[in-house]
Amino acid sequence: MARILTEHLESGVFTRQRLINLTNASIVDAASGDGSRRYLSSNGNPSFARLSMLGSYSEVYGETWFESNQLPGLDQDQIIRFFNGSTQLASFQLTAANVWAPKIGASVETAGSLAATWGVWHCAEFHYKIHASTGALTLKIDGIEVCSFTGDTVVSGLTVFDIVEMYYSTGSAHINADGLVINDTTGGESNSWPGIIYVSSQDPDAVSATYNAWSGSAGGDKNLLVDEYPPNETDFVYSVTNAQKQGFSFGAHSVPVNGVIQAVIHEYYARKISSGQVKMGMRDGGVDAQTAALDLGVDWAVLQNRQPLDPSAAAWNLTTADSVETFVETVI
């Protein structure tokens, strides 16, 4: 698997350890272009979310969604920026002619010819490769290539990046962003252009009939303790016993009948009190698939279990996506 970052913001917070800095922006409840129900909204200039890649990479493909009801600042970086530490390596710039141009370090390369449009959500896909001779920086908007550079993309001798920003230098415009995903080029799944990804979100609506061993911190149904946004850190489910499992089921997803399901993602907002780990799992048709044991921090954070195949290792279809349960197991 080559997906190295997925941030659809459906939990209302970024996944654990990713967020370095959130400036002049906040996550809001509203429908976005990718079909999800929460997105990042700018409320100042500049607006950005600075994210750790949790590793170093030399070539990636990715995607994010953006929307503005007016023209943003011209001759300024937009949409996405790549860094090695504090050194900016690459970005895309909206030129004074309202067309897109690749930007390598401080050098703005030849712009494309397709004018930017505003007032609706757009899907931006990008390809970035750092290399002294065969480097690349390409941007597609709604599946159409709008600018591209090939050649030397090495900046200050740096051949990898480790930080990315969802970035909007907006001037007086108000820009929204959503759905950042990044693939590296390894493995046999999600190792190239993402395509235009749409999201169908569901909260748990019932407790699993198979796994129901954890306790609730308050009265009422356990699923009502864990489906809140923003998360209420006084209402939760918990366990102090090794190998206990707690599961939940979901309602049906609204997915087009001709849609291709790329993956199912379950997110958990969790922390440890003093010690212990958790395994995240999915269950369907009596088959379980679990992650390895994952460390928890003492602070609340979002854990993510993204699976490109169903628990039986078959391709997802709408039936299995609707019927799959999520569960978590203690490792104490």
pLDDT at 1: 56
Q: What is the pTM for the complete model shown?
A: 0.91
Closest residue by Cα to residue 31 from 104, 120, 110: 120
pLDDT at 69: 79
Distance CA 275, CA 240 (A): 10
Express each pLDDT in 239-248 by its tens digit.
999 999 999 9
Decide if 194 contacts 62 (C-beta within 8 A): yes
Q: How many CB atoms lie within 10 A of CB 52?
A: 14
If one counts every other C-beta atom within 10 angstroms of the C-beta of residue 211, the result is 20
Rounded CA-CA distance 147/141 in Å is 9
* pLDDT (average), residues 253-274: 87
Q: According to the model, what pLDDT value does residue 256 have?
A: 72
Strands (E), 175-241: 175-184, 204-212, 215-216, 237-238
The rounded percent of the chain whose pLDDT value lies above 90 is 77
Domains and CATH numbers, the chain: 3-184 (2.60.120.200), 204-331 (2.60.120)
> Which position has the higher pLDDT, 232 or 112?
112
